[in-house]
Amino acid sequence: MTDAPLRQLFREDAYTRSAPAQVLGHTPEGGLLLDATLFYATAGGQPGDSGRLEWAGGVIDIATAVKADGGHIALVPSEPKALPPIGAQVTQHLDWERRHRHMRMHTALHLLSVVIPLPVTGGQIGAERGRLDFDMPEPPGDIAALNAALHSLIDRDLAVSDLWISEDELAANPGLVKTLSVAPPAGQGRIRLVRIGDPAHPIDLQPCGGTHVARTGEIGHVEISKIEKKGRQNRRVVLSLVE
């Protein structure tokens, strides 16, 4: 297998739905390693992408994607089936509706961390619901006001972009890290930041490796559907995508 770095196509353009690739190898567990992947691997509370692969000899459904040794991403088939051989040219197809819902929810959760400016102790992204856990000893007094503030940010149709900084720059600006339970990936020399709003005066800027929509208006309608007490100081705020 080549030592060339994996092309993470979801990082180059989160809106690409299909792309070619070459099979580099198979994992002992039956996963597939490609030289370039559209599939985001499970990390940071965001599930791995699903979809399918097609090649001259067949087609296989992909249930998820996970991180593998050597900086690779392994595509996990949904059932045991003949895999495309090493060296085969394949076409990747994302389950776009599911991915796009993850993108909408992920950006919405970043906005939720703006509306509730407290340390985040955990989080999870889903296609229907997502949640952030906050260091919040007392419940918020007015959920309707929080929803209104969230809708206002979405309706402003703010741009969502990214930039990269060095690990030293992040160490010098620890306030950029909102999530206490998940540290930004270290050891690669640089850290990706996701920025919402005017680059000169963003409303949110934090380390993140996930996929996002290009503008907040694309999120659509979301609602804080539940707030639960989780421990002495933690409260879980559940956000739902509303069709």
Nearest to 154 by CA among 96, 210, 97, 213: 213
Domain count, the chain: 2
Residue 5 pLDDT class (50, 70, 90 cuts): confident
Which residue in this structure is represented by tokens 């969502």? Answer: 160
Q: Where residue 168 falls among pLDDT bands split at 50, 70, 90?
A: confident
pLDDT the model gives residue 186 = 55
Q: Position of tokens 């703006």? A: 114
Is residue 198 classed exposed, middle or buried when 0-12, 13-18 and 19+ CB atoms within 10 A define those classes? exposed
End residue of a domain, out of 50, 69, 94: 94
Q: What is the pLDDT of residues 42-60, one digit of tens each?
A: 998 999 999 999 999 899 9
- What CATH number does the domain containing 231 carry? 3.30.980.10
61 lies in some domain:
yes
Residue 112, helix vs strand vs coil: helix
Can you give the residue range of the structural domain that contains 134?
99-242
Domain's final residue, options 56, 77, 94: 94
Same domain? 144 vs 208: yes
Q: Enumerate long-range contacts of 144-149, CB under 8 Å, 24 or more apart.
A: 146/115, 146/116, 146/224, 147/223, 147/224, 149/115
- Residues 43, 71 within the same domain: yes
The torsion angle over the Cα atoms of residues 15, 21, 26 and 29, rounded to 10 degrees, is 10
Note the pLDDT tens digit of each residue in 12-36. 999 999 999 999 999 999 999 999 9
Confirm whether 219 is domain-assigned: yes
154's tokens = 């979405």
* 87 and 150 belong to one structural domain: no
Last residue in a domain, options 94, 112, 136: 94
